[in-house]
């Protein structure tokens, strides 16, 4: 059992998560997520905040509609490992709301809990005020 934990490469798994997002690859994203993923989205982020259950539900009810509205992509700048199952990433979302024409940048911290093969839990912490300002016409 100890060997299995020591052999985990949670950081590589988390980097595959960001690569799938950057490629807008839903299949690749679902490959790295547990089907019963628990995701905590920052309260105050439009209608998306709160705790969500399920990778497919997160994709269909949060990530896709949020991307269509905000065109935001997360760019991690630093990673921090917390063995045996944790990884944190900090960086910035950069996006643009087509309806208002406003661009924005919002800091984030994503905290991941991984199991042997996939991401089982994700906690997003972001500056929701920046997101919401971008929805307001100038």
Query: Hey, what CATH topology would domain 2-135 get?
Result: Nuclear Transport Factor 2; Chain: A, (3.10.450)
Whole-Å CA distances, 46 to 23, 39, 68, 74: 24, 16, 13, 17
Name the pTM for this structure.
0.92
Residue 1 confidence class, pLDDT cut points 50, 70, 90: very low
Q: List pLDDT tens digits, range 73-132.
A: 999 999 999 999 999 999 999 999 999 999 999 999 999 999 989 999 999 999 999 999
Q: How far is CA 1 from the centre of its chain?
A: 29
- Domain residue spans in the chain? 2-135
73-82: strand order across its sheet: 50-53, 33-41, 119-126, 102-114, 86-97, 73-82
């Amino acid at each position: 059992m100890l060997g299995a934990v020591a052999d985990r490469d949670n950081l590589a798994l988390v980097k595959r998560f960001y690569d799938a997002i950057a490629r807008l690859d839903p299949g690749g994203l679902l490959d790295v997520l547990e089907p019963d993923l628990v995701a905590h989205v920052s309260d105050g982020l439009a209608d998306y905040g709160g705790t969500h259950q399920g990778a497919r539900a997160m994709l269909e009810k949060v990530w896709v509609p949020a991307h269509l509205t905000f065109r935001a992509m997360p760019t991690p700048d630093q990673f921090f490992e917390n063995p045996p199952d944790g990884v944190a990433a900090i960086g910035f979302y950069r996006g643009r709301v087509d309806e208002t024409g406003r661009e924005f940048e919002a800091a984030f911290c994503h905290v991941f809990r991984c199991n042997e093969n996939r991401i089982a839990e994700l906690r997003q912490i972001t500056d929701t005020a920046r997101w919401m300002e971008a929805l307001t016409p100038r």
